[in-house]
Structure 1
Amino acid sequence: MPIIVRPAAPEDAPVICDLLNAVDVVELGRPETDLATVESSLIHPEADLERNSWLAFEDGALVAYGLLWDDSGAERIDADHYVLPAHQEAGERLLGLLQTRAAGRAAENGAERAVVHLSLNTAPTMDTSRLTRRGWRTVRRYHVLTRPLSAAADPVPGPPTGLTLRDCTAEADRRRAHELLQESFAEHFDHQRRTYRQWLDDLGQGIDWSLVWIASLEGAGDVGAALSRDDRAAMAWIRSLGVRKEARGRGVAGHLLRHAFGVYAARGRDTIGLGVDTGNTTGALRLYTAHGMTLHFAVDTWELTLPAATPA
């Protein structure tokens, strides 16, 4: 049957969400994608859906979806790609469109090449031999970790001596949290610096700023921050947790983590999760596993380098 491809539009969010949850069921065993997450990606101010998104339909049903975005403004280009297992030809067609557009976007940025990253479950619905034949290779692995919560086992902890936390309900503290997280992650693999406005756009709707915390140490000032959110149906989520380099090893990250456990347990959540780079050199993976977090699933970053090229 013919494959029909067209750009996505904001009103496609429900059908895209259904596709992503069908992929989740195959890869994770249950649906974990929320409609609000899909909607946010489609209405992001930097989204150019006409040029950077693709929906593939077979017999009227959505079977594959691709989205490209460019946080670097240079050679680094990111892509999302989802395909149902029985529709690999449609998936590969979108992959080709993604690659062509990535090369064009890099050229628009004035770069000589496009370095494209694509994140996929380690047991994906996509036939990865189609990636390797095109020159893609895995360059990094991330773990999504989860931990059960209960009010009895996870009370909100008191802070260690000299350490205080405050939330970010005030605009000035939101800006400070942005600064702290940008600094904390500056040397991490694949970090793309974002302005405050861009960061807010990336977060989308649904942020409860009382669930974003800044950590301060006596004599050192603000040293770290944690950004969490309670708008996912599957679990509470810690999006970012970072500590400035000079304050690491002083228990700040551990306290922020335990504070999140306690707060979400008190809110009635039974599970909390986060993502971590397994190649992280700050000890983050060890910290999280030491606090009882276990592997939910793993994600590989696939990379392809292409010469920048303006479409004819």
Structure 2
Amino acid sequence: MAYLLRPARLADAPAITELLNLVDEIEIGRRETDLRTVEADLRHPETDLARDSWLAFDGDLLVAYGLLWDESGGERIDVDHYVLPAHQAAGVVLLDAMDARALERARANGVTRAVVHLHLNTAPTLDTALIEARGWCVVRRYHVLRRDLDPERDLAPEPPAGVRVRPCASDADRATVHRLYQATFADHFDFQPRALEQWLHDIDAGALDWSLVWIVTAGELGDVGFLLSRDDREAMGWIRSVGVLDAARGRGLGGLLLRHAFAAFAARGRDTVGLGVDTANATGAPELYGRNGMALHYAVDTWETVLK
């Protein structure tokens, strides 16, 4: 079958969103991709759409989509890849193009190889035998967790003595959240250091409701943790990240922030909240989320290949 191939444009965002929702329906049983998320991806500052994006059409139907970006400035390159099950050949064409471009970008960074990462549902529409044959392997697993909300049950918790939770209300607070994020996630798998402006783009700051971002202060330690969430997904409220500095762990601050977010979403009329977590996280995050009523929604694997 001959496919029409071309780069993506911002105007393609609705068609890409529809493709990703078709993939969602197959992989997780419901549509959970929003147009705003796709538009933010297409605007990624480390992506040149003309060279780092690919669309494959069967007639007028978009059947495969790929996107590549480079946050590391070194050998680490990230890609997204989506394909409808009946069009694996289109998926292979995109993989060929993405491999070539990943190696090109890595060499432009002054390194001799590209270490490429791709996130896929554990039961993806892409035939994983195709990527295994190309040298890809799973290096990490993430769980997407969800929790039902009830406005009568999920009430704002009372902080313990000496602890205060405040909303992120100023540019100075945003800089504080950025600093706390960089510090608390520095040892996490796949972490890439980000300057403030880069990080603000990563979280789609222009579309973010900053009243759903909170900072926790603990007495003499000062600002020690944060929770960043958003309420622009149709499927559920979303907690993007939670972090508490090592010096303040063991005081229940992560749970306090979670319960604060649950109450805020419930008060807004949301019936579900979700988040993603690395199953090999060494800080106790999976256990924290489980203790606070979050359960598995679906799982995602990080696949890796090394290109030379």
Q: TM-score, normalised by structure 2?
A: 0.98
List aligned pairs for 1:118-129, cutoff 5 A: 118-129=118-129
* 2:110 counterpart of 1:116: no
List per-residue Cα deviations over 1:56-96 (Å, max 9, x = no partner): 11122110000001111111000000000100000111011
User: Amino acid of the residue matched to residue 170 of structure 1?
Assistant: S
Query: Is the contact made by 1:75 and 1:113 (CA closer than 8 Å) also made in structure 2?
Result: yes
Specify the alignment match of 2:271 in structure 1: 270
What SS class does the counterpart of residue 166 from structure 1 fall into? strand
User: Amino acid of the residue matched to residue 271 of structure 1?
Assistant: T
List aligned pairs for 1:189-200, cutoff 5 A: 189-200=189-200
Query: Is the contact made by 1:6 and 1:55 (CA closer than 8 Å) also made in structure 2?
Result: yes
Specify the alignment match of 2:47 in structure 1: 47
- The structural deviation recorded for 1:250 is 1.1
Separation of aligned partners in 1, 2:161 and 2:277: 28
What SS class does the counterpart of residue 201 from structure 2 fall into? helix
* 2:297 counterpart of 1:304: no
Query: Is the contact made by 2:212 and 2:230 (CA closer than 8 Å) also made in structure 1?
Result: yes
- The structural deviation recorded for 1:203 is 1.6
* 2:156 counterpart of 1:156: yes
What percentage of residue pairs aligned between the two structures are identical?
Answer: 61
Specify the alignment match of 2:280 in structure 1: 279
Separation of aligned partners in 1, 2:13 and 2:274: 24
Alignment gaps of 5+ in structure 2: none
Specify the alignment match of 2:255 in structure 1: 254
Separation of aligned partners in 1, 2:258 and 2:113: 39
List per-residue Cα deviations over 1:29-75 (Å, max 9, x = no partner): 01100001111111233321011000011122110000001111111
Separation of aligned partners in 1, 2:249 and 2:301: 27
User: Amino acid of the residue matched to residue 116 of structure 1?
Assistant: V
List per-residue Cα deviations over 1:75-129 (Å, max 9, x = no partner): 1000000000100000111011111111111001111211000000000000000
Specify the alignment match of 2:168 in structure 1: 168
- The structural deviation recorded for 1:168 is 1.0
* 2:19 counterpart of 1:16: no
Query: Is the contact made by 2:47 and 2:70 (CA closer than 8 Å) also made in structure 1?
Result: no
Query: Is the contact made by 1:217 and 1:223 (CA closer than 8 Å) also made in structure 2?
Result: yes
List per-residue Cα deviations over 1:244-298 (Å, max 9, x = no partner): 1111111110100110011111111000000000000000000001111000000
Q: How many equivalent pairs are there?
A: 307
Separation of aligned partners in 1, 2:44 and 2:284: 33
Query: Is the contact made by 1:2 and 1:59 (CA closer than 8 Å) also made in structure 2?
Result: no
Specify the alignment match of 1:74 in structure 2: 74
Specify the alignment match of 1:213 in structure 2: 214
Separation of aligned partners in 2, 1:105 and 1:249: 42
Moved over 4 A (4+): none
What SS class does the counterpart of residue 156 from structure 2 fall into? coil
User: Amino acid of the residue matched to residue 258 of structure 1?
Assistant: R
What SS class does the counterpart of residue 239 from structure 1 fall into? strand
Specify the alignment match of 1:310 in structure 2: none
Separation of aligned partners in 2, 1:247 and 1:73: 32
Query: Is the contact made by 1:184 and 1:243 (CA closer than 8 Å) also made in structure 2?
Result: yes
Alignment gaps of 5+ in structure 1: 308-312
